[in-house]
């Protein structure tokens, strides 16, 4: 997976239609509500909760967008799993690479072994 495709892992954030300030606020709301609850809001049609839900689920949305666009399977797999270390084994990407990508993305948790 090259740098250009690795950088595409957050492409799903576009579905929320938030800019940097909106994403910052949505991040706080997701933290307060809980990730699972916020993700469930994505099923809401439109509205504030729906947008926040799509932001919370940007990893899965991004993976779908990348797959439809014909991205390499590893790029879509990383997009889907990049915030969930428990899913890294399923990406087909070596764990040290997953850990390095997560660290480069500012993730506080780095997983280096199974």
Q: Pick from 78, 74, 75, 83: which is nearest to 36 by CA? A: 83
Q: Pick from 24, 19, 16: which is nearest to 48 by CA? A: 16
- By percentage, how much of the chain surpasses pLDDT 70? 87
Mean pLDDT is lowest, of 28-32, 36-40, 75-79, 101-105, for 101-105
* pLDDT given for residue 38 in this prediction: 94
Instruction: Say how far apart CA 21 and CA 23 lie, in whole Å.
Output: 5
- Over 70: is that where the pLDDT of 1 sits? no
Q: Pick from 57, 56, 105, 98: which is nearest to 77 by CA? A: 98
Instruction: Say how far apart CA 109 and CA 3 lie, in whole Å.
Output: 21
The chain-wide mean pLDDT, for the chain, equals: 85
- pTM, two decimals, is 0.77
The tokens 């280096």 sit on which residue? 112
* pLDDT given for residue 104 in this prediction: 83
- Over 80: is that where the pLDDT of 108 sits? no
Between these two residues, 22 and 10, which has the higher pLDDT value?
A: 22
Q: How many residues in total does the chain contain?
A: 114
The sign one gets for the Cα dihedral 17, 19, 21, 24 is: positive
Contact of 101 with 91, CB cutoff 8 Å: no
Average pLDDT over residues 58-66: 91
* pLDDT given for residue 105 in this prediction: 78
Phi, psi (degrees; rounded to nearest 5) at 97: -70, -45
- Over 90: is that where the pLDDT of 41 sits? yes
């Amino acid at each position: 997976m090259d740098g250009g495709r690795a950088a595409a892992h957050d492409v799903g954030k576009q579905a929320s239609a938030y800019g940097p300030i909106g994403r910052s606020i949505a991040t706080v709301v997701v933290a307060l509500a809980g990730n699972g609850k916020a993700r469930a809001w994505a099923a809401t049609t439109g509205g504030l909760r729906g947008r926040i839900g799509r932001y919370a689920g940007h990893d899965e949305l991004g993976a779908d967008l990348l797959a439809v666009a014909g991205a390499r399977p590893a790029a879509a797999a990383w997009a889907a799993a990049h915030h969930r270390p428990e899913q890294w084994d399923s990406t087909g990407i070596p764990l040290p690479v997953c850990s390095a990508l997560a660290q480069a993305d500012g993730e506080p948790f780095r997983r280096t072994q199974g």
